[in-house]
Amino acid sequence: MSGQQHPALAPVTEGSANTRADDRSSPRGPVPDPVTGGADRGRAANTLLGEGGSPKRPVPDPVTGGADRDSAANTRPGKGSSLKRPVSGPVTGGAVNGGPDRDGSRGRGIVDPATGRVLTRLPDTDAPGVADAVARADTAFRTVWADTSPARRAGLLRELAGLLREDRDHLAALERGNAGKPTARAGAEVDFAADVVDWFAAAARYPVGETHPAAPGLRTYTDRVPVGVCAAICPNNYPLLLAVWKIAAALAYGNTVVVKPAPETPLSVRRLVESAARVLPPGVLSAVYGGAETGRLLCEHADVAMVSFTGSTAAGREVARRCGDGLKPVSLELGGKSPVVVFRDADLDAAARAVVAGFTGNTGQMCVAGTRLIVDRAVHEEFVARVAELAGALRVGPPEDPRTDLGPLISRAAADRAAEAVKEAAERGARVILPPGRREVRHGPDGGFYVHPVIVDGAPFDTRAWREELFAPVLSVAAFDTDAQALDLAHDTAYGLSASVWTGDADRAEHFGRALRAGMVWVNTWGDTEETVSVSGMGQSGYGRELGIHAVEGYTRPRAVWVAHRPGR
């Protein structure tokens, strides 16, 4: 689907504000512990008001699957094999793909954020379990995977993409139950994940090297070689999708992977790894579970060659420090507090729809969420009113309800943090705009962790609402008078993940497109993301590349080779 926006990220179209939100993105927020990856964040994309609806087939129970697990789950089909049905069965604890299976009746409670109910329990992987998973991955790398031909790796990845599509409804149900995602959005994210795997299946066969002029009898070339065992530490806002971004790239380029999902949202990743065991050789893809301690064990393990982390900036610093002690390369996709600059000559209707999508998509739990609106003073009141009307029409409710636009936040702490930031801004003189008839930020049907979309207009620039990534549908607004002031306000942040500008002036659009300091810049659009385009952050939003052809740079290392055709020449 190169060259266009994925359906899960489709731009806002004309229609009622209650049309389903089919967004996707990745954001984060403060993390309760530094190495978990269980930050209130994630990454990538867009929630624009798109078509919604329930899936065509019955959605399995989000925990049990309602079917017996295939007894051949650990067999490896041959090239071109067809898998008749997805893996199903109860979710239990432990590492997968050859790792020990543990008693799922004990361990960390995995909570449904829509109700606060414990879905199941999953023990944290202890130090011997992490060591075992890494040892299996290292053995698989040295004995099987690194020497598997690119064509064969590509074929197995295509089979993995097929598994994702076969298991779409079940994976979507897990994302709905464990991460609180509305059903249509969850299904679109599974679709995008499968597209990402297909892209990296193709990329596995792309040429990556150069030949160089050399003396007679000497051949000189450079190539890229896999790094080895990669640890993928993932966030809770896009549990499956962001894990797949890392897994697919690492596997395509000949690495093996130990993935650690966020402690709050392990269920879809666990099912993915179980299913992948039917396609991939043992040890090529394993999962470990837990929080900060599990992440620390991965970062510090001598046989983990590279760490890819998505989460908060605070947690990213800790990951970088632990990896730095061993001179271990790390890719960091971290926080954001993205500006959206709107000029008076912009298409204000289109801009308003995009602003609403940008701060409410995935219930605001996106690293690229456009949570700082910087609007031309000449249209400030008019534009804020448009945004408030659209945001106020969105429906907050249970993820299984097809009318729902915004599901719950990931935790009670996340909802409390958002409410406290809004309260602080109000006490400091900001105007707080809630949906019609609402007086509180919190909204709690069935004990879930819900908040309403909130606009905070005129918050002082030292408040949390303006400065911190809240990972919630909270939009801060500031007015500007000049282009220079708009740019200064846009850059009034330590982050540099994404930015957007809306204007009808071509010269201004070109200028801001160049001047905005962010890894992703959208001009008169927002949230476009394709698996073919590499993305990264600036400043405190991290470094390293995700997606696209440049992902190869993180998962391989360059090597120079000289070959003498006449030894001892």
CATH of the domain at 202: 3.40.605.10
Task: Mark whether 325 and 429 lie in a shared domain.
Answer: no
The Cα 340–Cα 455 span in angstroms is 14
**206 and 73 in a common domain:** yes
Grouped pLDDT means (10 residues each) for the chain, 569 residues: 37 33 34 35 32 32 34 32 32 40 69 96 98 99 97 99 98 98 97 99 96 94 98 99 99 99 99 98 99 98 99 98 97 98 99 99 98 99 98 96 97 96 98 92 79 98 98 99 99 99 99 98 97 97 97 97 87
Q: What's the confidence (pLDDT) of residue 443? A: 72
Q: Between helices 239-252 and 150-166, what is the axis angle to 10°?
A: 160
Do residues 352 and 412 share a domain? yes
Please tell me whether residues 352 and 401 are part of one structural domain: yes
Q: Is 528 inside a domain boundary?
A: no
> Strands of 474-480's sheet, edge to edge?
431-433, 454-457, 474-480, 372-376, 339-342, 498-502, 520-523
Q: Say yes or no: 403 and 489 in one domain.
A: yes
The helix (H) or strand (E) run that includes residue 508 is: helix 506-515
Considering the domain architecture, whether residues 482 and 508 belong to the same structural domain is answered as: yes
Query: Hey, what amino acid is at 254?
Result: G
Shared domain for 38 and 130, answered yes or no, is yes
Domain for residue 86, yes or no?
Answer: yes
224 is a domain residue: yes
| C-alpha angle 212-218-220 in degrees, rounded to nearest 5 | 30
The owner of tokens 């892209």 is 199
Q: Are residues 137 and 155 in the same domain?
A: yes
Q: How many domains does the chain divide into? A: 2
Across 366-390, b (16+ Cβ under 10 Å) vs e yields: bbbbbbbbbbbeebbeebbebbbeb
Closest C-alpha among 292, 298, 205 to residue 253: 205
Q: How far apart are CA 105 and CA 175, in angstroms?
A: 21
The domain in which residue 151 lies consists of: 21-333
Do 320 and 367 fall within a single domain?
no
Amino acid at 68: D
Of 282, 305, 333, the domain-final residue: 333
Final residue of a domain: which of 315, 333, 351?
Answer: 333
Q: Residue 84, exposed/middle/buried by CB under 10 A (0-12, 13-18, 19+)?
A: exposed
- CATH, residue 488: 3.40.309.10
The amino acid that residue 441 corresponds to is V
- Report if residue 560 sits inside a domain: no
Cα separation of 401 and 19, whole Å?
13
**Residue 13 maps to a domain:** no
Token pair, residue 336, equals 């954001």
Assess whether 269 and 403 both reside in one domain: no
Q: How far is CA 289 from the centre of its chain?
A: 18
On the CB side of 258, how many CA atoms lie within 13 Å of its CA?
A: 35
How far is residue 452's CA from residue 435's CA, in Å, rounded to a whole number?
A: 7
Catalytic residues, which ones?
A: 246, 333, 367, 546
Please report whether residue 531 resides in a domain: no
Domain-embedded: residue 567: no
Q: Identify whether 16 is part of a domain.
A: no
Q: Are residues 268 and 373 in the same domain?
A: no
